[in-house]
Amino acid sequence: MQWTYTIQLPVNQAAMPLRALLTAWYLPSHLVHDLRIHQRVLVNGSYRTMNQPVTGGDTVSLTFLPSDFKEPFPDVAPDSAATVSVLYETPDLIVVNKTRGSKTHPNLPWERGTTLNHVAAYLGPNQPGPYILSRLDQETTGALLMTKTPAVVPIMVRNIAEKRVQRTYLAWVHGTLTGQGTFTDPIGRDPQDRRKRLVNGVHAQSAITHYAVLDHRPQATLVKLWLETGRTHQLRVHLAHAGHPLIGDPLYAVHGQSRLRLHCWQLRFPQPFTLDGPQTTVVAPIPPDFDHFQLN
């Protein structure tokens, strides 16, 4: 098995050395090295050294082999594609609408019933993926990004690290929150409960969450949230610390009759093997019961 990508550069792209182009595409150095020494990178059908220029209109072909990757084939058992709702799909990427109550991925090799197991069944036996890129808590719904081949995993991971992938959430929270703003309290582990995180907890790391209020109900507020960092439980911890925990949050809110009201509503991301091109936006439909809840 191998994966070949043929990319025609935009006609207005400035000339640059081939190595600089591959690096700008966020290919890690070890992949650039493998492509070079095995002459698996072609420009207009011919091998070209890494220092030679490429320019707008050129066609660049890259061929990747399983040996290029530490774990080319994820060990994910397929388990029924019936619940898979595909929001967006290309030969490289897939975005699915995760359902409430489904874990994102197995914690043990033999585990079944997670979103990753279902997507593996959807892709079928001839696809090496799926490879998880983003994660959602078990009770969180919405857009979940995966890749279908190992070649684009490091590219998209780097895009996430460079904050070129933006996730926007919708949430119902307790109380009356107004306006818009930013939470900047660092988040670490809760020494009293290993399941939880805590503002200024153990080994706290910087965490930045932006919010904007969209609507109000008695004793509840609908907010739009987006992240600059990706700490565990970041949205839940920041909102709870501010006195506005998520409605239905089993860890950080007063127990009520509602399930967690947190939805990954929108994903924006660049396509792999592009430079400063338009971003792709994928919107996950809001669950029909999202605004159906009871407060104590």
Cβ(142)–Cβ(169) under 8 Å?
yes
SS3 labels along 136-181: CCCCCEEEEEEECCHHHHHHHHHHHHCCCCEEEEEEEEECCCCCEE
Backbone angles phi, psi at 60, to 5 degrees: -110, 130
Question: Alpha-carbon distance 70 to 102, whole Å?
Answer: 28
Q: How far is CA 239 from the centre of its chain?
A: 21
Question: Alpha-carbon distance 265 to 225, whole Å?
Answer: 10
Active site residues: 137
- Looking at this protein, which amino acid is placed at residue 201? G
- 3-state secondary structure (DSSP) of residue 14: coil
Between the alpha carbon of residue 103 and those of residues 129, 139, 176, 263, the distances in Å are 17, 8, 31, 14
Question: Alpha-carbon distance 97 to 88, whole Å?
Answer: 9
